[in-house]
Structure 1
Amino acid sequence: KCYHCDTTWARGKPLVMKAPSITGDSIPVRQQMTGVINPKGIIYIFEISLDLPSNLVKMKNLKLFDTTIDEWSSMDAVGADVDPRWIFSSVLNGRIIIFGGCTFNNTGVSPKLAVLDTNKNPYEWSIPSSSNVNSPPSIYGHTANLYYNYMIITFGYDIDNETYNSQVYLYDIKNNAWVTHFDPPSSRNLLLIGLVTGI
């Protein structure tokens, strides 16, 4: 169920949660939903597990929620086959990059990394050809954060080695490659960005 939270909070007053009037496609009972929101307020929900404990919805069957008008819609994506999964990560950089996850039996999934192009209609899944080179082990329950041109993977459980992950993995989203070093923008570039923004 969806709720609105009034963030115009004042000291001494409770936060107000309201159930809005939702339109569009109704969504069946689901659990373990994972999604990412774009700057326009659209939430992309990739992984939705059914009530049945051994069932996962196909990754090409997507649900979308427009937070600006409180409306559900659906999209059947095309492109590469991506194993159903849960407990995975997703980041947004104009495209949506998912990584890791597992089956209900806690086994690995294929591919480990996939990209959803939401600029195409219908949306299209692809698997970067170099994404398996120097790839991390199969991981689930991890975190993923986007910093400049890098997706940073931390924590989670390493399926291949049957242990908690203590490593940090970097994926260069510009060159579609796993890397072992990070090249942040120079301080001069950051200064120029600040000056332009200030103007």
Structure 2
Amino acid sequence: MSSSRPFVLVLYYSRHGATRLLAEQVAAGIESNAGIDARLRTVPPVSATCEAVDPEIPDEGAVFATLDDLRECAGLALGSPTRFGNMAAPLKYFLDGTSELWLGGTLVDKPATAFTSTASLHGGQEATLLTMLIPLLHHGMVYAGVPYSEPGLLATTSGGTPYGTSHVAGGRSDRSVDDTERELAQAQGRRIGRLAKALQGLTEARR
């Protein structure tokens, strides 16, 4: 990945790996567009008893996100498992620390999208996606879901919503991303990649 090329930040939290699988499919869709990259980043877990217990670089998977990743991105794809119809606490904790970007209007007019994973088919996927877009709107971002021009939205018997791609991981989180979920995630990535390229001139003009 060239540092001079625009990138979409794929920022996610994954406890058992299901949301990470979805993030990788979204990233593949982004990078199917010429001239734009995907930057995979995650966030550390949070604890009620201590602030920092994990190493600065995880043993596996994506490295931890910084505010600079958000500051420099051309677009954002945000992923989280469902926690009672809301995003997971580690991702919310990271977003709660982005006030300086909000004060500076750093993310205004940048495109954003979201994706999620649940253990069960009706585990709060749509509620989670809707709550995830709220902080993005407060940042002035332009939200883009998955349009019904994607046939998988009507064909799916597992994950997939117009608010963003979703995945049904199963009660043991051992169900892999199926073909329809994969196609929708990649389509979502392609779309956010196209929009990031198209809107980049607008965001640069504001600076």
| Structures share fold, TM-score greater than 0.5 | no
Of the two, which has the highest radius of gyration? 1
TM-score w.r.t. structure 1 length? 0.29
Q: Which has the higher contact order (CA 8 A, sep 6+)?
A: 2
Greater strand fraction, Structure 1 or Structure 2: 1
